[in-house]
Amino acid sequence: MTRFSQKQYEWRVLAAMAVYSAFLLYVWPMVRTTDSYPFKVLLGVAPALPVIYVLAQLARRIRASDELEQRTHLIALGVAMGVVGALSLVGGFLSIAGVLRIDGSILIWVFPVMMLTYGATRWWVLRGYGGVMSCDDGTNVWLWLRFVLIGAVVLVMALMHPPGLDGFGLGFIYGTGIGLLALGLVVALRQWFKRRLRHH
């Protein structure tokens, strides 16, 4: 079976996130203007399709990894599920008790919180093994560029936004793009300092 490399995985995720951004900008706003229930369901599900594709690619990447990588992935996924499950349980009890007013829109944060927890946990686990986020040669060198490219794609999509997009949605997309660009800059500086220390 052909090895599914980290580079292949990251570029496919980049493409999927570009499609996701396009859906949020050009498809999602139509939900508020249509009266057709089936069409509204279709529009509501559309932005989730690229995310489901990313999850499928993550599963494929884990399956193609060696035993050590699989261990780090599974530990990170276990912690992420535990954190999200605990937060959901606490939030549910507080909502039932009338302490918090929570509507269904909060569910949109479940996946981002899970992925952030997964990424942070895997980074911490790999530090314990003295490794990096990828075992493939050379894939970590241009990690900063991937963040910059994703951020640039998101910002270009935001600049081309349709008139019907509300301020909150547009601000969220701009913030995401700028945040990714800043993260790419931080990663680039960190890698530059590491190379400089090695040479000295």
Angle at 170 between CA 168 and CA 172, to 5 degrees: 65
Sequential pLDDT tens for the chain (200 residues): 456 777 788 788 878 877 887 787 778 778 878 888 889 899 888 888 998 998 899 888 888 888 888 898 899 999 999 999 999 999 889 988 888 887 777 777 788 788 888 888 888 888 787 655 554 444 555 667 777 877 787 777 777 666 666 666 667 777 777 877 887 787 777 777 777 777 76
In sequence order, what DSSP letters do the residues of 111-145 get, joined into one string?
Answer: HHHHHHHHHHHHHHHHHHHT--S--STTTTTTHHH
End-to-end CA distance of the chain: 42
Query: Residues 132, 124: contact at Cβ < 8 Å?
Result: no
For helices 143-159 and 167-199, the axis angle rounded to 10 degrees is 160
The pTM (predicted TM-score) of the whole model is 0.67
- Pull the structure tokens for residue 185: 């800059």
For helices 6-22 and 143-159, the axis angle rounded to 10 degrees is 10
CB within 8 Å of 18: residues ≥ 6 apart: 150, 153, 157
